[in-house]
Amino acid sequence: MGASERFDHYMDHLSAGLGHLDRHAGLKGYCTGLMLPLARKSVEPMAARVDPLHASARHQALHHFVAKAEWSDREMLRRVCQWVVPQMDFSRGGWWIIDDTGFPKKGKHSVGVTRQYCGMLGKQDNCQVAVSVSLACDQGSVPVAWQLYLPEDWAADSVRRQQAGVPEQLRFATKTQIALTQLRTLLAEGAPHHCVLADAGYGVDTAFRQALSDMGLLYAVGVTSAVVVWPPGVEPLPPKPYSGTGRPPVMPRRTARRQPMSVKALALSLPAQAFHTISWREGTNETLSGRFAALRVRHAGGNAGKARLRPLEWLLIEWPAHEKEPSKYALSTLPEDTPINELVSAAHQRWRIERDYQDLKQDFGLGHYEGRGWRGFHHHASLSIAAYGFLMAERLTADKPVGGKKNFIERQVPPLPADYIPRGSPARAAARGSFDHDTTAPTELHADRSPRAVPLLRQSKRKVTFVTQ
């Protein structure tokens, strides 16, 4: 079975979750457009490229499919998982990777837009932000949950909520709360208990880390240099003896000699021999390595940290050889006997979600949606992930990167007529031979693979089905 036939089977698999047969053409047309090497992957240019002889009618149909039709983006992501995850190898472990990504926007009417930090720009600006959870293994990763972060001013504005179609039951939630809800939903539907990875934006939240532990999940999360811990060999005194009245004391006691310290101060106090050069993976041009130290500590900062004695966990410190101070810190509940090279490898698996976002934005139009509504935003994102998921499955099946002279999707799409004039152009504009502005060589999928079944998401031999978010 060739790649084109597998793509058709994939579309049939996803279509089964749309609810109506008349949505199947919209799904295939939209995913095809997202996989073409177009400069802009919003509805109009995709419609013009997929069906140039009926561009206006296809534009209306695709717009209705993504912005108005009542199909479930969560079910779409679940079916993407059912196709991709069986191709992933979890024999060496897996990870849940939590992160958020921003989409710069002008104006104030697109759902969730406000002035907030945008990682894509590296500063505060007008943007939308979405929180996601990806499932990763050594071979690759795929987003399995996706939700727009709705700022407080939006959550409290009933007029804007109604105009953008925000679900009535949705209330304000922080990004950490959204991520925890996504994980709880995944676990409730039978997802495996993999280690959770997140950056310091999530890791500094004591309640977030405690919630992961309460769910039975290990974690390796970034923290800032100001996080306070009890260093190795230093323990607080037990709580005061119970007097017999009121609540029994639970707060550990400190003395002049028994004090916690920031992770930065602890790192600076370590001798040079505490740090080891560790390599964690092969980069594009060289092996990636750095200087690390790993210590067993107890978290002691914040009200929650002061109220009770926290269990021991790993503090991983990364200190580049030519820097004046450490660059990164992470706390981890991986087992006490975990070798330092495994701690380093786990903490650095987060690069996979950054690669996901890069590919989704650059190659699959994740940030190109031009509508303003809640439904369209989530539909477009799930379809971008669906297009990405198919090529990820092909890559995993072939066990090599997808690459070649010709993209199989492009072979299925009719060329633009020589005299085609894009909508909005002057009536006498010069004819364009191609709508494509991206001259990068397209890719080819390997067509010599044997057909595969489409099992549900599973771990080991146990069949598992779950709904994302």
- CA–CA separation, 383 vs 75, rounded Å? 11
What's the rounded mean pLDDT across residues 98-120? Answer: 92
Query: Average pLDDT of 19-33?
Result: 93
Rg, the chain, Cα only: 25
Is the pLDDT confidence value at 87 over 90?
yes
For residues 375-400, give the mean pLDDT: 91
- Model pTM score: 0.83
Cα atoms found within 13 Å of the Cα of residue 181, Cβ hemisphere only: 14
User: What does the pLDDT read at residue 402?
Assistant: 44
Mean pLDDT of 369-384: 96
Q: Which of 270, 262, 276 shows the shortest CA–CA distance to 321?
A: 276
Q: With H, G, I as helix, E, B as strand and everything else as coil, classify residue 137.
A: coil
What Cα–Cα distance (Å) separates residue 252 from each residue in 143, 230, 237, 260, 300? 41, 12, 6, 12, 10
418 vs 287, higher pLDDT: 287
Residue 56: pLDDT over 80: yes
Q: What is the largest CA-CA distance in the chain?
A: 92
365 versus 119: the higher-pLDDT residue is 365
Residue 468 has pLDDT above 60, yes or no: no
Q: What is the C-alpha to C-alpha distance for residues 264 and 327, in angstroms, rounded to an integer?
A: 10
Residue 243 exposed, middle or buried by CB count within 10 Å (0-12, 13-18, 19+): exposed
pLDDT score for 259:
86
Helix (H) or strand (E) holding 328: strand 328-332
pLDDT at 415: 58
Cross-strand pairs, 318: 292, 328
Average pLDDT along the chain: 85
Give helix 24-35 / helix 374-398 axis angle, nearest 10°.
70
Q: At residue 441, does pLDDT exceed 90?
A: no
Give the per-residue pLDDT at 421.
56
Q: What is the pLDDT of residues 180-193, one digit of tens each?
A: 999 999 999 999 99
Residue 339 tokens read as: 């070798």
Q: Which two tokens stand for residue 440?
A: 């990068």
Which tens digit of pLDDT belongs to each residue from 145-168? 999 999 999 999 999 999 999 999
pLDDT digits (tens, 9 = 90+) for 392-429: 999 988 864 444 434 555 555 555 555 555 554 444 44
- Going from N- to C-terminal start, the domains of the chain cover 199-234+252-350
At 378 the pLDDT is 97
The pLDDT assigned to 207 comes to: 94
- 275 pLDDT tier (thresholds 50, 70, 90): very high
Look at strands 141-148 and 123-136 and give their pairing: antiparallel
pLDDT in tens, 301-356: 654 444 567 899 999 999 998 899 999 999 999 999 999 999 999 999 998 898 89
Tell me the β-bridge partners of 295. 315
- Confidence at residue 456, expressed as pLDDT on a 0 to 100 scale: 39
Contact 83, 10 (CB under 8 A): yes
Please give the pLDDT value at position 422: 55
Token pair for residue 194? 């993999």
Percent of the chain with pLDDT over 90: 66
Report how far residue 33's alpha carbon sits from residue 263's, in angstroms, rounded to the nearest whole number: 49
Question: pLDDT (tens digit, 9 = 90+) per residue, 213-266?
Answer: 999 999 999 999 999 999 998 888 777 787 778 787 777 777 777 889 999 999
